[in-house]
Amino acid sequence: MTAAVLVQNLHKVYDNVHVVKDVSLTINAGESFGLLGPNGAGKSTTIRMLTTLTVPSDGQIVVAGYDVQRQPTEVRQDIGVVLQQTSVDGDMSAWENMEFHGRMHHIPNPQRQQRIERWLDFVGLSDRRHAKVKTLSGGMKRRLQIARALLHEPKILFLDEPTVGLDPQTRRRLWEIIRGLNQQGMTMLLTSHYMEEVETLCDRVGILDQGQMIETGTVAELRRKHGEGLVMKQRGDRWDYTFFPTLQDANQYLDQQADKTGMMTRASNLEDIFVELTGHNLD
């Protein structure tokens, strides 16, 4: 299977602080990969290096078949980037933002106009094409950022916290857009603090902690490895979690306890595994 993103022994050092430490990663063409980690784990720095925005201190990155450090222009032509911060111009209309981006990528007319129409329609903003961006809601701005990132028809889309701060309805609308793009064959790498989002959108996940990749795999693989069943025991105002290979094993353990006060079992999920590995809650 062709690798869309290949990262080998990646490092980034800021002021003698090792922000990213020896990260290696392969993302296959057409795959949707979720990059998880507590705040400060190095997720955004990693994405910035993969998208040519930050120079690595050491290591190799190949994106869409191009070396990021030696061929940054070719990489930029094949990637779309949606950063966490709103990066569209508020004083321009949605159409003008798209037009400016299309000209920057030297997309000729009438192809440029056709693509603007297509992607504004795809993200549901055709009726707001002439509205100033500063009048749009947060969700609309994020959808415009996605449309703009798709205008030059990239092979790989990078999404850094694409739904942060959005209401649940808007978040699910963006999920539909992202899932639709992946179903069309687009390779994706996204970061998120929402576990349901990652489980819904991603084929595989990687967990970063203190700059190191500590685990990768599908959610099913991680559950099999760390335990598919949990016994929860309440201690004061907190819960203790004990993993078991299966939920049946967890139930059997609970049945054997003479005092079951404050105890319960359930199936494990991605957030349980994340907290177990990193010691951090996602929020």
User: For the structural domain made of 3-217, what CATH number should be given?
Assistant: 3.40.50.300
pLDDT tens per residue, range 125-145: 999 999 999 999 988 998 999
pLDDT tens per residue, range 188-232: 999 988 888 999 999 999 999 999 999 999 999 999 999 999 999
**pTM as predicted:** 0.89
**E strand or H helix at 122, and its extent?**
helix 111-122
Cα 89 from chain centre: 24
pLDDT tens per residue, range 226-277: 999 999 999 888 889 999 999 999 999 999 999 999 999 999 999 999 999 9
**E strand or H helix at 100, and its extent?**
helix 94-104
CATH 3.40.50.300 domain range(s) in the chain: 3-217
**Tokens linked to 8:** 């080998």
Integer Cα distance of 26 and 38 in angstroms: 21
Q: What are the E-state strand segments in 161-268?
A: 187-191, 204-209, 212-217, 229-235, 238-244, 263-267
Mean residue pLDDT across the chain: 92
Angle of helix 138-150 versus helix 168-183 axis, rounded to 10: 10
Q: 3-state DSSP call for residue 162? A: coil
